[in-house]
């Protein structure tokens, strides 16, 4: 079995090449509360009239990856069919105390912390099955964090097409330029997933990058 797996691994790029023809699988990644689910909802609402899940102000609301297949995006007459994977927020430390201040009981908070940890592992495992990544960052926060640096570095190592989404530009303290300064080697698209600001530019960039 080991040999088969090794062969499969070696020719993964070929498998991806063939899959690319009809459909691309895009993962939405980022730290907790960056707006991943809000963005997934925005994309689905715009193109299939559906939603992915409910976002929340409490971090680690999404604790299982969610997959929606066959979402058709049309930009400038060009159509792109994508599978969207909304992943749990990636963090390096998860502490139930953080959830207590949102009014969760200790038991609920501990369960949430455990599920969030499993969620991080699940999110990372999904990377093996993707054709591209939308990395969502909160424009109001410092982008130079261990989580962001590690994700970007690993996606680069895997040669996966990467588009950085500078989210929450509707907020007064947002600074998408700071994200561009931190990761100048990648395209950065400033948007507000909540308000739908500049979302067409994102679809255009997705069609160019992943199509």
Partner 1 sequence: MPHRCTKCGKLYADGDMRLLQGCECGNNKFIYVPKEKRTEDLEVQVEQVKKEFERFGIESVRIIAPGQYEINLEKLFEREEIIIAIQEDGRYVIHLPSLLKKKKKD
Residues making contact with partner 1 (CB under 8 A):
1, 5, 8, 15, 90-97, 106, 109-110, 113-114, 116-117, 120-121, 124, 127-129, 144-147, 149-151, 154, 175, 177-178, 181
- Taking the C-alpha atoms of residue 13 and residue 168, their distance in angstroms, rounded to an integer, is 34
- Taking the C-alpha atoms of residue 133 and residue 123, their distance in angstroms, rounded to an integer, is 12
Nearest distance in Å: CB 148, partner 1: 10
Closer Cβ to partner 1, 48 or 175, answer by number: 175
Q: Longest Cα pair distance anywhere in the chain, in angstroms?
A: 55
Closer Cβ to partner 1, 48 or 117, answer by number: 117
Residues 6+ apart with CB under 8 A from 123: 27, 29, 65, 87, 88, 89, 90
Nearest distance in Å: CB 161, partner 1: 17
Rg, Å, the chain Cα set: 17
Nearest distance in Å: CB 197, partner 1: 18
Nearest distance in Å: CB 1, partner 1: 7
Closer Cβ to partner 1, 27 or 73, answer by number: 27
CA 67 to chain CA mean position, Å: 12
Closer Cβ to partner 1, 109 or 135, answer by number: 109
Q: Taking the CB of residue 198, how many other CB atoms lie within 10 A of it?
A: 16
């Amino acid at each position: 079995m080991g040999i088969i797996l090794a062969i499969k691994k070696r020719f993964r790029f070929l498998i991806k090449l063939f899959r690319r023809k009809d459909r691309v699988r895009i993962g939405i990644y980022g730290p907790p509360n960056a707006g991943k689910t809000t963005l997934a909802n925005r994309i689905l609402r715009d193109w299939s009239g559906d939603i992915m899940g409910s976002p929340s102000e409490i971090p680690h609301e999404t604790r299982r990856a969610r997959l929606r297949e066959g979402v058709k995006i049309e930009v400038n007459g060009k159509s792109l069919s994508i599978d969207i994977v909304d992943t749990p927020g990636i963090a390096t430390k998860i502490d139930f105390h953080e959830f207590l201040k949102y009014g969760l009981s200790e038991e609920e908070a501990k369960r949430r912390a455990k599920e969030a940890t499993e969620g991080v592992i699940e999110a990372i495992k999904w990377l093996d099955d993707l054709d591209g990544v939308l990395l969502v960052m909160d424009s109001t926060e410092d982008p130079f964090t261990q989580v962001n640096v590690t994700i970007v570095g690993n996606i680069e190592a895997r040669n996966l097409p990467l588009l950085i989404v500078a989210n929450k530009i509707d907020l007064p303290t947002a600074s998408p330029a700071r994200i561009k300064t931190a990761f100048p080697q990648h395209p950065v698209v400033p948007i507000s997933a909540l308000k739908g600001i500049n979302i067409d530019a994102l679809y255009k960039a997705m069609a160019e990058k992943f199509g």
